Amino acid sequence: MSSACVRFGQARARSGISIGAALTDFAALTDVLGWSAPPLDLMTSVAEGWVDGGRSRDDCQDPLTGLATTAYLRTRLGEVYRGSGPEAHPSATHVLIVVALASGLDPWRRTARLIVLGHELRQYFTQGESIALLSRGRITVLTRVSPDLEERMRRLRDELCLGHEADVWSVALPDDLDHALSFLDEVGKPPMSG
pLDDT at 108: 78
Of 13-22, 83-92, 157-166, where does the model show the most confidence? 157-166
Dihedral sign for Cα atoms in the order 22, 130, 102, 155: negative
- Compute the distance between CA of residue 2 and CA of residue 8 in angstroms, rounded to an integer: 10
Q: What is the mean pLDDT of residues 7-27?
A: 85
The C-alpha atoms of residue 7 and residue 22 are separated, in whole angstroms, by 12
Quick one: pLDDT at residue 194? 40
pTM: 0.70
Other Cβ atoms less than 10 A from the Cβ of 40: the count is: 11
Q: What is the pLDDT of residue 74?
A: 93
pLDDT digits (tens, 9 = 90+) for 68-109: 989 999 999 999 998 877 677 888 889 999 999 988 888 778
User: What end-to-end distance do the CA atoms of the chain give, in Å?
Assistant: 32
| Domains identified in the chain and CATH numbers | 2-53 (no CATH), 70-187 (3.30.70.270)
